[in-house]
Structure 1
Amino acid sequence: MSDFNPPSVAILETANDDPRLGHWFRDNQDNVESADVVLLGFPSDEGVARNGGRTGASEAPSAIREQLYKMTPSTEYYQPFVELLDKTADVGDVEVTGSLEEDQQRLGNAVAGFLEQGVVPIILGGGHETAFGHFLGYAKADKNTAIFNLDAHTDVRPLKEGKAHSGSPFRQALEHESGCGETYLVSGIQPHSVAQSHLDFIREHGGNYIFRDETNITAISGQFHQHESERLMVTFDMDAVDQSQAPGVSAPCTNGLPADLWLTSAYLAGRNEQVSSFDLSEVNPEYDRDGQTAKLAALTIWHFLLGLSQR
């Protein structure tokens, strides 16, 4: 636990008959060894800066936790949800140094440890450079995986002057020397924001992409099963959501996905037994409006947990 900074989020004080998720996360901090699910933050946006985006995503883990901690367990599926919460712990944030490559290795080391124990890590980014650190966990644990990304962009850009950034994580994963990135699947991409060379790269590596107008729950569910890997690493980039519903992101998206499709996708990811890890990236509290985007991000985690509770 020495590589984590403990979460510094206030727990909403409520009556005994009105428990919130924060109560479970607080009570389970000392029982990480028995957890089946862990939350961890990656407060980095150096990759966004390198990619020419607007910074601020480093503040996202705290903002998401603030909203998530206030939420209640599902009343419709109360018992399985609570049983999952009993085995869910928030381990805090990975310590970041400002050196992106070193910080991604730190995240990878943490994720690898959880994967080796059969624990499902839920990572709160951070810029989308989070995803490559996330993938490094599979490489370090020597576990092959397919990768699913719900995003407005493909994020397979080449490195810039030899340096990684928030637009390069999946190129890095597919080209990684470990060979652990078996295939790449992406939904929600905007045709006006994607270069043909990026689509060619995905096809050349046996991947698949779906444009925003073709992205519906049937297509996403199909991609969840359109691979032969034993595992599926899932990453959600908040800039896929329409900016009217998610204004606080690093790259706001006109004509993005509706929030209900986004949330249902998170729920299906949680239910899918092949999904072994999840990250949510690119929330930018500095540009948020009334915490709207942080609330949607927290509700995304809530839906993923609901899906996990029904496995």
Structure 2
Amino acid sequence: MELKQFFHPIAQDTLPVREAGTMSDNTDFHIAEHFPDWEAADIALVFVPEYRGLPLSENPKNGFVKFRKQLYNLKDLTVSCKIVDLGELITGALLSDTYDKLQKVCEYLLANNTLPLIIGGSHDLDLAQVKAYHDTEKTLGIVGVDAKPDMEQSGIPSEEHLFRILELYPSKIEYSHLAYQRFITDKNTLLQLSKLNADLTSIGQIRDNLQETEPVIRSANILSFDISAIRKSECQGAYHNNIFGLTPEEACQLCWYAGLNEQLTSVGFYNYAPKKDIQGDTAMLLSVMVWYFVEGYSKRRPEYSFFSNFHTKYIIPIDESLQTLVFYKSKLSDKWWMEVAFTEDETPVNGQIIPCSYKDYQDALEGNLPDRWIKAVGKVKDC
């Protein structure tokens, strides 16, 4: 089965003129009589014009033309990645058929170590993105960026997709949520996610210290980004957004962190509304977010063993009982990790090494157990 059969080719007249030094010069496009060599690519762009998961669905014709023109006119990266644009996914007769097609496409790409970068389409499409990992035996780290967690059981797919995702593999998913807004998020939803040991970060917490999101994103394999999390004044072409939310700079920073994460193997940007994007400003914003993700990807570096000369080890005493915390700092990237280990009924438990921040190290120096350590211990004990 060929990947080509899942996609419409891109109309030649909708593509920008290929210019040296721009993203278009580094991208292979699916056009008539030519399907790109996706097996040789680092990143594959997958456009999904599927909106039936929304309360008011629409299917705009050539809805991604503005986005493509903005993205491919951006300047090329310092370190280039091999990118392919596979075109628009051929949607199914039913919404569930589209899910199945997108899942198969992602499975193909992931099996080839090509990162799927999905541009949607309603946010419930991330259900297919996650289901593409069904064969994995490892814990699956998912980071969602959204103004509120979509946990409602309303019968509307875009409002309940997170609930359905967490039902898929309840013992295998570690979920983190960024940029939720407390005044539109039901407290019972937060309680439910807390019981699942989800890591929850509000928009206010992000604004207080954006850098603290980096370790959260670094623990993920999947990023699902609803652009309605960006405030409306800066992102008119999104569904369900409001006057509060992320700034464009914050959104791009999150994308850059995600690109840097060598464990992250798929990303989806959802709820782009072409019909609302009259001036094309949201297409520009989304294209720059993708640019920052790709730029971060181009700077990925393998992190060697924590017991190698590429890391510095710090052992910090916490209290008089001689309890210590162990930290590792990469000499290559300046990233931090800490070891999570505890003793229960005098029985030692093997430690886990998790991403952390310099702030966690500073907290330990002051004799305080970092919040990230306490949460991680709770997850280990519940396993």
Is the structural similarity TM-score above 0.5?
yes
CA distance in 2, matches of 1:240, 1:182: 22
The 3-state SS of whatever aligns with 1:215 is helix
Q: Rg bigger for which structure?
A: 2
Q: Are residue 8 (structure 1) and residue 11 (structure 2) matched?
A: yes
Structure 2 residue aligned with 1:93: 88
2:196 matches 1:194: no
Trace 1:1-150 onto structure 2 (pairs within 5 A).
Answer: 1-8=4-11, 10-13=14-17, 18-26=20-28, 29-49=35-55, 55=58, 60-74=63-77, 78=78, 80=79, 82=80, 84=81, 87-139=82-134, 144-150=139-145
> 1:220, CA displacement in angstroms?
1.5
- What is the match of residue 256 of structure 2? 267
Q: How far, CA to CA, are the matches of 2:85 and 2:136 in structure 1? A: 21
State the 4+ residue runs in structure 1 displaced beyond 4 angstroms. 53-60, 140-144, 178-181
CA distance in 1, matches of 2:46, 2:85: 6
Q: Please list the CA deviations of residues 17-45 of structure 1 after superposition, one character each: whole Å capped at 9, or x if unmatched.
A: x3422233236843212112111111111
Could you report, residue by residue, the CA deviation over 1:216-266 in whole angstroms, capped at 9, with x for unpaired residues?
4223213224x5xxx510011111111111011111221211110110110
Range 136-145 or range 209-218, more displaced: 136-145
Deviating more after overlay: 110-119 vs 2-11: 2-11
Contact 1:232-1:274 at 8 Å conserved across structures: yes
Confirm or deny that 1:175 pairs with 2:167: yes
CA distance in 1, matches of 2:17, 2:95: 37
Provide the C-alpha distance between the structure 2 equivalents of 1:181 and 1:97, rounded to a whole number of angstroms: 29
- Residue in 1 that maps onto 2:215: 222
Structure 2 Cα separation of the partners of residues 144 and 170 of structure 1: 17
Task: Spell out, residue by residue over 1:28-64, the C-alpha distance to the aligned partner (whole angstroms, 9 max, x if none).
Answer: 8432121121111111111112xxx574678654442
Distance 1:156 1:48 in 2: 14
**Structure 1 contact 145–182 (Cα < 8 Å) conserved:** yes
Which structure 1 segments of 5+ residues have no match?
none
> What does the per-residue CA deviation read over 1:126-145, in whole Å, with 9 as the maximum and x for residues that have no partner?
01012111111112566642
Q: For 1:126 and 1:197, how far apart are their aligned partners in 2? A: 28
Distance 1:190 1:305 in 2: 28
Segments of 5+ residues of structure 2 without an aligned counterpart are 301-383
Give the structure, 1 or 2, with the largest relative contact order (CA under 8 Å, sep 6 or more). Answer: 1
- The SS at the match of 1:122 is strand
* Contact 2:36-2:86 at 8 Å conserved across structures: no
C-alpha distance in 1 between matches for 2:129 and 2:42: 18
**CA RMSD across the alignment:** 2.3
The alignment of Structure 1 onto Structure 2 pairs a total of residues equal to 290
- Quote how far apart the aligned CAs of 1:89 are: 0.9
1:110-153 Cα distance to aligned partner (Å, 9 max, x none): 11111122111100110101211111111256664211011111
Greater alpha carbon shift after TM alignment, 248-257 vs 134-143: 134-143
- 1:184 is matched with 175
Question: What letter corresponds to residue 121 of structure 1 in structure 2?
Answer: P
Match of 2:294 in 1: 305
Change in Cα spacing, 1:221 to 1:59, as seen in structure 2 (3 Å) is: farther
Give the TM-score normalised by the residue count of structure 1: 0.85
CA shift at 1:13, angstroms?
2.4
